[in-house]
Amino acid sequence: MARDQRVFEKESRKNGFFRIAGVDEAGRGPLAGPVVAAAVVLPADVVLPGVTDSKKLSPAVRDRLYDTIYSQALAIGIGIVDAVEIDRINILRAALLSMAVAAGNLSPPPHCLLIDGNHRIPIPIPQRPIPKGDTLSLSIAAASIVAKVTRDRLMDRYALWYPEFDFSRHKGYPTKAHKEAIRCFGCTPIHRKTFKGVREHIA
């Protein structure tokens, strides 16, 4: 029997919260590019077959579900924290900040947040961190897809600015080809200069 992906949303409604936002981020691990978060408020009765943790889906499926989520959601907010800020405050704080920005960009504002992971985010809204939330909550799963597709599309744009790095292929993650490009060409303004694999090559 399939797991009910609305358990946490149903519990939240029983507690008096009706605009419930799932929140997730993409891009903690790359050597380049921003960390991007999404916050998604879905209708209580929405049906979204196939929506789950974005990492379990192919790019083509993610793109299709991204469009479906945008057509069905009551509200979507995006938060982006760039490499300069990641280097300044560290990647965990940057990821939490991106999620706070995404939630703050929702209109109308949510009554509560369901957040992927173990950490609360710095925003004064009732919230519940849920480990592995992107597989347990439909709202968080939807946010994981929106965050991942949004970030991938940003990296495709950066690939046009820095063609020697082939960002459209690896999205900034530490692949062998990406690390070799850093060795050959140095780092770009979107590289995370405090990350191992980049900091060794800063002149």
Dump pLDDT digits (tens) for 40-65: 999 999 999 999 999 999 999 999 99
- Could you give the number of structural domains in the chain? 1
Residue 168 CA to residue 155 CA, distance in Å, equals 6
Q: Is residue 190 part of a domain?
A: no
Residue 176 CA to residue 182 CA, distance in Å, equals 10
Q: Is residue 196 part of a domain?
A: no
Q: Is residue 91 part of a domain?
A: yes
Residue 95 CA to residue 35 CA, distance in Å, equals 6
pLDDT number for residue 3: 75
Q: Is residue 1 part of a domain?
A: no
Q: Is residue 165 part of a domain?
A: no
Q: Is residue 178 part of a domain?
A: no
End-to-end CA distance of the chain: 56
Query: Can you give the residue range of the structural domain that contains 53?
Result: 7-159
Q: Is residue 149 part of a domain?
A: yes
Q: What CATH number corresponds to the domain at position 105?
A: 3.30.420.10
Q: Is residue 195 part of a domain?
A: no
Which residue, among 153, 174, 168, 151, has the nearest Cα to 30 in the 3D structure?
174
pLDDT number for residue 2: 55
| CA dihedral of 59, 64, 69, 70, whole degrees rounded to 10 | 100
- Whole-model pTM: value is 0.96
Residues of the chain with pLDDT below 70 are: 1-2, 203
DSSP letter, residue 30: -
pLDDT number for residue 202: 86
Dump pLDDT digits (tens) for 1-20: 457 899 999 999 999 999 99
